[in-house]
Amino acid sequence: MDGIRSPEEVAALYHRHVKMVYQICLMLMKNVPDAEDAAQTVFRKVMEYGKPFRDPEHEKAWLITTARNECRDQLRHWWRVGRASEETLEKLTWEQPSDGELWELILSLPENYRMVLYLHYYQGYTALETARILGKNPSTVRTWLVQARKKLKLRLEAEGYGTT
C-alpha cells in the first residue's frame, strides 16, 4: 500500500496532536459533536496523505491547516447552510485551557482573531509562522493580533477585570 501511513504511525501522530486538532475544530465549529466529526476527518486525511512530513513543525502546520480547511468545508456544506440556527456554544471537554473565562471570550471573537490568538498564545507560533500556516500576509496577522487583543481588553474591562 504505497503512500498510506502505517497504523502505528497514524496512532503516534494522533496521540501527539489530537488535543490541538480538536480544540481548533471546536473553536471553529462551536459545538462538540461537529468538532469531533471534523477532528476525526482530519486524522482520516492523515492516513491518506502519503507524503512524509519534513519535520515536526511541518506535521503540526499541516494538521492546523487541514483542520481549518475541513471545518470551513463543513460549515459551507449545504446541510449546515440550510439550518435555521446554530447550536449554542458548548463547553470545551478535552483539557480546557485553565483560563476558562478568557477562553470563552476568545471563542466569541471572529474566526480570524480566534485563530491568530490560538496559534500565537496557545501553540506558541510567531506572527510570521502563523501567517505561513494561514496563508496570510505577516502584517495582516500582526494587525489581527493587535485588534484581537484590543477587543479582548475592552470585553475584560466591561466585565470588571483590570479595574481597581
Intervals of CATH 1.10.10.10 along the chain: 97-164
The 10s digit of each residue's pLDDT in 56-104 is 999 999 999 999 999 988 888 755 544 433 433 333 333 444 566 777 7
pTM above 0.85, yes or no: no
Cell (9 digits) for 34 = 461537529
> Which portions of the chain are predicted below pLDDT 70?
1-3, 78-100, 161-164
In this predicted structure, what is the pLDDT of residue 83?
44
CATH of 97-164, one of 3.90.45.10, 3.30.420.10, 3.30.360.10, 1.10.10.10: 1.10.10.10
Residue whose cell numbers read 503512500:
3
pLDDT of residue 89: 38
Locate 127 and state its grid cell: 506572527
Rounded to whole angstroms, the Cα distance separating 111 from 126 reads 18
The CATH number of the structural domain formed by 1-93 is: 1.10.1740
Quote the pLDDT of residue 82: 43
Under 8 Å between Cβ of 105 and 80: no
Per-residue model confidence (pLDDT) at position 10? 87
Residue 96's contacts (CB-CB under 8 Å, 6 or more residues apart) are 103
